[in-house]
Structure formats: structure tokens, C-alpha cells
Amino acid sequence: MDAHLIAAAPDSGPYLQAAAERRFPGGATIEARFEVPRPGFSVTVLFGPSGSGKTTALRLLAGLERADRGSIQVDGTVWSDAGRHIHLPPQVRDLGFLPQAYSLFPHLSVAANLSYGLAALDARQRAARVAELLALLDLGGLGDRHPGELSGGQQQRVALGRALARKPRLLLLDEPLSALDRPSQLRLRKELRELLRALDIPTILVTHDRAEALQLGDRLVVMDQGRVCQSGGIQQVFDRPTDPAVARILGVETVVLGQVESVSEGMATLAVGPARLLGADPGNLGRLAFVCIRGEDVAVERGCGPGFGSTARNRLPARITTLHPEGSLVRIALDAGFPLESLVTRQACTDLRLTEGDQVCAILKAAAIHLIPHD
């Protein structure tokens, strides 16, 4: 392929720009439509439920799927352009790819797994690079062992090291912690974030785990049914979903439709069933709006005076319908005139002696209510 076919015109645009689609027989279309603004360390998380198209989008970047429409450009080089019939194979894309199944070679040592793909280097250079990776990944002394002799976390680091061996300019991670047990996942999240920071490589990471996305990511791309629904800074997207479907994907427990009764001084009053709620006005509110409330923002007390408190807090008489213990927390389903969920500590639940059927007061600040205008 001639170089002029794949060289992009230099500009000050994003480091990675993907606007590609893969169409499957039967009508399903998956899109990879997002950007990485600049080179260097950042983690962009592709987030969504199983079957939303996250892994296919990652495979489009990797060149393991051929785009039927659109293009992918990285650092001024066109990796894929369906209109010009450009499709660089994976080995030419200068990327590291870590699949869900680590796919380590069981018959090879750790050192041999790490050096796989370094055939372009001489023996001395390969040995130096392997030693560098063993130190970087805290695998010192394990170079002669085989994958079956390692813990899950050690296997994960070897697989990551193999993806990094050629010093790629983009790293792709598909559910990198999913093969580990839950305690190992919790322990390794922070470790993985710090390792990625030290590598100083832009990373695209696939996960459906909300806590993992929040802890590892800088930017968030929310996918559902093959399309990108919303993207942006991770906290911005989690705090301000743009439609009710995104809110539910992001784990917002309460998403209900309310009627806007009044807007004054930046605050909106809404009717949700028989209840009245005070929330911050996002602007452009019409007659109806979706009310989004996270469980951790809802406190529960005994005794309740209806209405708004002096600090713009909503106080809603409610009845406990169910209690679901979740480790150190308890998820409380409430009937406040509309279905509402609260997430409290087990200790708080014990101190209040809460049981199903109790009449309580649900308390939440107006600022904790996110309103989405109903279009």
C-alpha cells in the first residue's frame, strides 16, 4: 500500500479519532465513535451492558474487525477508511491489545511470553526489554515460571506486559480484570491505574463495572445497542446523564417522569405522583422532566415533616417495601408516592431498627436530583 494512502493531513485535531461502523448480517450495526484528545496518559472507558457493542468497537480499533463505513485515525495516520478501502492489519497498527482471556502460552515461561512478538530485536535487546518489563510489572524472580504456576493477578500482569512489549502508541484493554475473583479485582484496580499512568500511553478500556470505570477512567463513552449514547469526562457523564436510558445504564436507581410545576431562582418544583420535589433547574425545562436520583444520595430517618427543609432538602414520607443487604450496605426500596431507592450502611439500618413496612422519612438535597428535560 502506498504511503500517501494512509498518511493523514497534519492538524491540531485529537490524537485518536474514531467514526467507524461494523454492520453484521441480520441488521446489527456497531459504531466506534469517540476521540482521545491528546497523546500521553489517559484512560478512555467504553462502558455499557453486555451486548452493547463495546468489544466490537475495540476490535475495530485493533483491526480485528473491518469497518463497513467511516474511518479511524491515530496520531496523523489513517488506520481504517472504508471509503478509500484502507484497512491496516493489526500488526501494523502499533498498538497493544489485551483480550478478556489473557491467552498466555501455557508451555512458555513468563519471559518467553513477554518476548513473544519481539523477533525484530536481537537476543541482547530482547533480554533487556524482558528484564525491563519484569521490573515494571513487579514480576521479578518469576521469569522462568509458567503461567499455570502464577496467581490470577500475576497472569494479568504478564498478559499486560506482552501487550506492552513493543512499546505501542495505543493500548486496548478488554475487561482486563474480569478473569479475576472479586477481592483481586478490588485490590488490582488502583495498581492498574498507577501502572497505566507510569506507562504514559493512551488507553482504551472496556468494562461494564461502574466502580471499575470510575476508578480507572478519565473519559467515559457510554454504549447501548451498538451506538454511542454519550461521551465526555467521566465524572461529568456519571453526574449528568443526558437521557434516561443513559442514567439507567450508569446505575441511577430512580428514574421517574415528573411534571414541572414552577421554576424560580434556579430551582424547579416537580410533581411525581402525589409527591413534590425540589431540584436544581438545568435550563430548558418544559412541562415534563425525568427525575434521576442515586440511592447513595437518599438518607432515611424516622419521623417526617412533609415538604422542603430550610437547606433545600426534600423530606418525603415513605414506606419501606423491601430491605436487601449488600455487604456492608443495605439497599432500601421505598414507596414515596413513587418508587425510590436508598443505599445506607448496615450500621445505620441497625441503629434505626428498620424493618419492612416501617413508615420513614426519605431525605435528599435538591442538588442531588438530576433533571433531564423530556423531549
Distances (CA, A) of 71 to 37, 56, 85, 89, 222: 17, 15, 10, 14, 20
Residue type, 259: Q
Q: How far apart are CA 113 and CA 105, in angstroms?
A: 7
Residue 225 has what pLDDT?
93
Residues 8 and 137 in one domain: yes
245 found inside a domain: no
Q: If you average pLDDT over each of 126-140, 285-299, 305-319, which comes out highest?
A: 285-299
Does 311 have pLDDT greater than 70? no
pLDDT of residue 68: 96
Residue 235 lies in a domain: yes
Alpha helix locations (H) across 217-370? 234-239, 244-249, 346-351
Strand 219-224 versus strand 227-233 pairing type: antiparallel
Cβ(162)–Cβ(113) below 8 Å: yes
Question: Same structural domain for residues 256 and 171?
Answer: no
pLDDT at 303: 79
Q: Residue 103 phi/psi, 5° resolution?
A: 55, 40
As a whole number of Å, the CA-based R_g of the chain is 25
Final residue belonging to a domain, choices 239, 260, 277: 239
47 and 178 both lie in a single domain: yes
Same domain, 167 and 94: yes
Calculate helix-pair angle for 182-199, 152-164, nearest 10 degrees: 20
Mean pLDDT within 84-91: 94
Asked if residues 45 and 191 have their Cβ atoms less than 8 Å apart, the reply is no
> What CATH number corresponds to the domain at position 75?
3.40.50.300
At 56 the pLDDT is: 95
Q: What is the mean pLDDT of residues 120-147?
A: 90
Question: Where are the alpha helices (H) located in the chain, listed in sequence order?
Answer: 3-6, 54-62, 110-115, 123-136, 152-164, 182-199, 210-216, 234-239, 244-249, 346-351
Question: Do 296 and 199 lie in a common domain?
Answer: no
Which domain-ending residue is among 217, 239, 261? 239
Cα–Cα distances in angstroms (integers) from residue 110 to residues 25, 107, 131, 191, 197, in the given order: 40, 10, 11, 20, 23
Residue that finishes a domain, picked among 208, 239, 270: 239
Which positions ≥6 away from 113 have C-beta within 8 Å?
104, 105, 147, 158, 161, 162
Which residues, 6+ apart, have CB-to-CB distance to 290 below 8 Å?
243, 244, 247, 255, 256, 257, 258, 371, 372, 374
Percent of the chain at pLDDT > 70 equals: 95
pLDDT at 3 over 50: no
Specify whether 106 is located in the same domain as 134.
yes
Average pLDDT over residues 280-298: 93
Domain assignment of residue 114, yes or no: yes
Same domain, 191 and 275: no
CA distances from 63 to 13, 203, 238, 310 (A): 22, 16, 30, 58
pLDDT tens, 229-250?
999 999 999 999 999 999 999 9
SS3 96: strand
256 and 226 share a domain?
A: no
Indicate if 220 and 264 belong to the same structural domain. no
pLDDT-wise least confident of 60-69, 152-161, 180-189? 180-189
Average model confidence (pLDDT) for the chain? 90
Q: Whole-prediction pTM value?
A: 0.87
Is 1 a residue whose pLDDT tops 50? no
| 273 inside domain | yes
Q: Which three cell numbers stand for residue 168?
A: 505501542
173 close to 62: Cβ distance less than 8 angstroms: no
- Taking a C-beta distance cutoff of 8 angstroms, is the pair 136, 161 a contact? yes
pLDDT, tens only, 246-282: 999 999 999 999 999 999 988 999 999 999 999 999 9
Is 342:332 a contact under the CB 8 Å cutoff?
Answer: yes
Which residues constitute the domain of residue 208? 3-239
Q: What pLDDT, on a 0 to 100 scale, did the predictor assign at position 221? A: 97
- Do 105 and 192 belong together in one domain? yes
Instruction: Confirm whether 102 is domain-assigned.
Output: yes
Domain of 283: which CATH number?
A: 2.40.50.100
Residues 7 and 126 in one domain: yes
- 178 located within any domain: yes
Average pLDDT over residues 99-119: 89
Total structural domains within the chain = 2
Q: How confident is the model at residue 4 (pLDDT cuts 50, 70, 90)?
A: very low
Q: Confidence band (pLDDT; 50, 70, 90) for 202?
A: very high
Are 81 and 175 in a shared domain?
yes
Return the higher-pLDDT residue of 189 and 70.
70
Residue 10 has pLDDT above 90, yes or no: no
